[in-house]
Amino acid sequence: MMVEGGKISPGIVEVQTTNHRGFTPEEVAERCLSKLLSVSDTAPPAIKEQANAYKDHMRAVLVFYMKEAVKSDRTTVYNALCDAGQKDLAELIRRL
């Protein structure tokens, strides 16, 4: 009697890097989207179109709230620097 299966396999990681900056909300959102939703190449056209429309909507929502998080974190950093007496540095952060 044959026993099916039993293959153990490693996946393939992707490496993303930046130079002299961090990732933008758009770049992070794209990474997030690929974890949340994938659209099969073999899906029927109508399903694919609907899924891609949903993905586009999710992308916009994710980018918006990531930008909100970035702004909010900058406010936290601004206040931490102000509290430490680093007003000039705080102002630089606020203007980013």
**Quick one: 20 or 85, whose CB is closer to other proteins?**
20
Rounded CA separation 41/25 (Å): 27
State in angstroms the smallest separation of the CB of 35 from other proteins: 7
- Of residues 26, 27, 47, 25, the one with CA closest to residue 38: 47
Burial 65-95 (b: 16+ CB within 10 A, else e): ebeeeeeeeeeeebeebeeeeeeeebeebee
In angstroms, give the least distance from the CB of 36 to other proteins.
Answer: 10
Q: Which is nearer to other proteins, 5 or 85 (CB)?
A: 5
Q: Between residues 33 and 82, which has the closer beta carbon with respect to other proteins?
A: 33
Interacting residues with other proteins (CB under 8 A): 5-23, 31, 34-35, 38
Cβ at position 46, least distance to other proteins in Å: 23
